[in-house]
Amino acid sequence: MVITVRDLLERPDLRTRLIAGESGIDRPVTWAHVCELEDPTAWLAGGELVMTVGIGIPRDPASQVAYIERLAKAQLSGVMICEGMRAPELSDAMLEAADRWGLPVMLTAYEVPFVAVSRVVADANLQEEHARLRRTLQVYEVARLVVHSSKLPASDFIARLERIVDGRLIVVDPAVGRVVLPPEAPMPSSLGRALRVALERYPSDHVPAVIQLPEVGPSTIALAVPARRRAFLVVSGGGVTERLTMSSCCATSPRSSPWPSSG
């Protein structure tokens, strides 16, 4: 089982206390990641615990609320702040937003190094990592079969991946706003709008590997895939492990992989 925020809070050696977002303490923690960016969401896939000394936390209440909302919409498990370092005063508005979104906000004693938290999470989730590895190998095996055989249509490739990750997969061409695979699948209007808005935030050559699409669904992400034209694999549903599996597959696939060309 994946370790949860509650599990971390109950460990006396981590000396961590909850100050907001109590309704979310049963969220699973797939990884504990140190990040001092004001918007770390472009580099995370969901399920991570963000650990910070406070450099990236805004100072004014409105920006603090926006910070919490970004983390919550990205499906992160919580934020852990080191006491006595560089965090600004945490406003009532920020803590109320954390309560509203169910995003745990924790304070950890200065004497507890973040690496200790990371080790606890990593050790607890070792079994889950093994499961992720098995799924990743299954994904690559399906991809290998497609590369070396013309008998498996691309639509069947997508169907096999859906069974592995237990989620809904479609390949989208954002330039024309249509679904490439499966060919008969309709393009959800909310997906088209959300993807356009998300892509407008980044230069064409600096699109992040994982784009969170909370407007479409709480577990929906878009992953850039190798193709002659820009295309995205949209993953809906499945667990955090499954979404990480697909992210890993897309990030390391060569251009000769079975991802379809969108034109």
pLDDT tens digits along 155-190 = 777 787 788 777 788 888 877 778 877 877 788 778
* CATH code linked to domain 5-124: 3.40.1390.20
pLDDT score recorded for residue 70: 94
Angle of the 126-147 helix axis to the 154-165 helix axis, nearest 10:
170
The encoded tokens of residue 53 equal: 């000394």
pLDDT category of residue 42 using cuts at 50, 70 and 90: confident
Q: Is the pLDDT of residue 98 over 50?
A: yes
Domain positions in the chain are 5-124, 127-252
Whole-number average pLDDT of the chain:
81
pLDDT score recorded for residue 263: 47
pLDDT in tens, 9-41: 999 999 999 999 999 999 999 899 999 998 988
Only one residue has tokens 């064409």, namely 204
pLDDT score recorded for residue 145: 58
Helix, strand, coil distribution of the chain in percent, nearest 5: 40, 20, 40
* Residues 85, 242: Cα–Cα separation, whole Å: 36
Q: Is the pLDDT of residue 114 over 70?
A: yes
Handedness of CA 257, 203, 66, 231 (dihedral sign): negative
pLDDT score recorded for residue 135: 65
* CATH code linked to domain 127-252: 3.30.450
